[in-house]
Amino acid sequence: MRHGFLLVDKPRGPTSHDIVSQVRRTLGERHIGHLGTLDPLATGLMVLAVGSKALKVVELFKGLEKEYEAEVTLGAVSTTYDAEGAIEVVPLKAGWLPPDDASRIQALIDDRFLGTVSQVPPAFSAVHVGGTRAYRKAQRGESFEMKAREVNILHCKVGNYVYPKMTLTVRCDAGTYIRSLAHDLGESMRCGGYLSALRRTMVGEWLVEEAVKPDEVKWTDIMPLKDVLRSFDSVIVTPNQWEHLRNGRSVAGTCSEDLPHIAWLNDLPMALLEPDKKREGMVKPRKVF
């Protein structure tokens, strides 16, 4: 089998768990995870880690930038901040007219929604609240408070705009909720808004154009682990050093505690390394592939 990453173009409807289960059945491989979920109504790029060795390196890719094409519907709000929740039309205030020019909305975005911003995740989300997923509490009708957190929005541009529909291209760091962005933008415009469609087009260096449909997945579509890890700092080891590493022992070498280093033998990634703090000039295996 081939251990590595698989790019899948998720359709609208199934959950991310459904996609993982489908690929597991197709490939006959149970060791499959992902680098981030998409809501059922969202489409686009999911990066799957296939094989036990690939699952061991998922942690190295948790903070990747992502890019989305979003459709926001103004003039209404949703309990889930997207089209899956209960929709309530917001009565327009007397004398209020929707912006007739996208440039006015863009100016608002540039002023309030770029860079490091405070964002409250939706109540219907996977964020943990008191040890329980928020959406489970919301489904049970429990009362609880979602705490604001800082997220980083690198790029947000208005595309097509004909009230009440507007499209946005958003590039952001991990942890940003596009649903919350749509809701907050609607609040700032005093007319309400919710996310009516979403497509993820980029995760890190990977683009949705490179992805395959879940029902068309083949083993040859998997990017080998050695290609996935090629950009990380390397430590070339000898066969003798590898024997020490695979048995949990340290070998001579240097690496940073903050930057991942990969041990390579014969052009194959063998282990994730970390400094041996007890022995200067030595490294030890954090994970063996």
| HEC sequence for the chain | CCCEEEEEEECCCCCHHHHHHHHHHHHCCCCEEECCCCCCCCEEEEEEEECHHHHCCHHHHCCCCEEEEEEEEECEEECCCECCCCEEECCCCCCCCCCCCHHHHHHHHHHHCCEEEEECCCCCCCCEECCEEHHHHHHCCCCCCCCCEEEEEEEEEEEEEECCEEEEEEEECCCCCHHHHHHHHHHHCCCCEEEEEEEEEEECCEEHHHCECHHHCCHHHCEEHHHHCCCCEEEECCHHHHHHHHCCCCEECCCCCCCCEEEEECCEEEEEEEECCCCCCEEEEEEEC
Contact predicate 215/120, CB 8 Å = no
Contact predicate 101/201, CB 8 Å = no
| Interatomic CA distance for residues 285 and 44, integer angstroms | 35
Question: Is 39 an active-site residue?
Answer: yes
* Phi, psi (degrees; rounded to nearest 5) at 270: -115, -30
From 9, 39, 184, 221, the catalytic residue: 39
Catalytic positions, please? Answer: 39
